A = this chain, B = another copy of it.
Amino acid sequence: MRSDGGDCSERTLAWAAEPAASPADETALTIAQLSREFGVTLRTLRFYEARGFISPRRQGAARRYRQADRERLATILKAKQLGFTLREISDLLASGDGATGGQRLNLSRQQCTEQINFLERQKRDIDNALAELRRAYTGHYVNAIEREVDG
C-alpha cells in the first residue's frame, strides 16, 4: 500500500491557515478553544497527540496550542475530508517534512489518482444503494404487510 517512495512531481496542497504574523505565547489556545474552533472533541485532540500528529506546549499539565499546531490540525482534518486514513496522513505529513516544514500535505500524482479512484468506487456503491432504496420507497419491491394493529 505504500507508494514506491521515489516519484518526483509532488503536489503541495496549501490549506493551512494563514501565517498570522508570529503570535506571542499568550495567544496560545487551550484545548477547549481549539476544539471549538475546529469542531472536534477534546478526545480527538488528545488522540492525535498520542499518535504523534500534534505536540502542544505544556503549561503545567495543561496543553497550549500555538499557531503551528493549528496549521497542523487544519492539514490533518483536510486530509481526513479527502478520505485518507490517519496512517496515510502520517505518511503524507512525514514525506513533506523538511522541504515544506510539515504543515502541508504532499500528494504525488499517483496518490491523487489512487484516492480519486478509491472515492469513485465508494460513490458508485452509494449510488447503487440509493437507486435500490428509491425503488423500495416508490413501491417497486413493495409487498405491503399488515401489522397486528387491529384485533
Interface residues of A (CB under 8 A from B): 8-15, 81-83, 99-100, 104, 106-107, 109, 112-113, 115-116, 119-120, 122-123, 125-130, 132-134, 136-137, 139, 141-147, 149
Add 14 more A-B contacts to A14-B141, A99-B147, A112-B133 (CB < 8 A): A8-B149, A11-B142, A12-B145, A13-B136, A13-B141, A15-B141, A81-B125, A83-B126, A99-B145, A99-B146, A115-B133, A119-B126, A119-B130, A123-B130
- Cα-based distance from A147 to B5 in the complex (angstroms): 11
Q: Are B9 and A144 in contact (CB-based, < 8 A)?
A: yes
Q: Are A81 and B129 in contact (CB-based, < 8 A)?
A: yes
- Cα-based distance from A128 to B100 in the complex (angstroms): 25
Nearest chain-B residue to A115 (Cβ)?
B133
Q: Are A126 and B133 in contact (CB-based, < 8 A)?
A: no
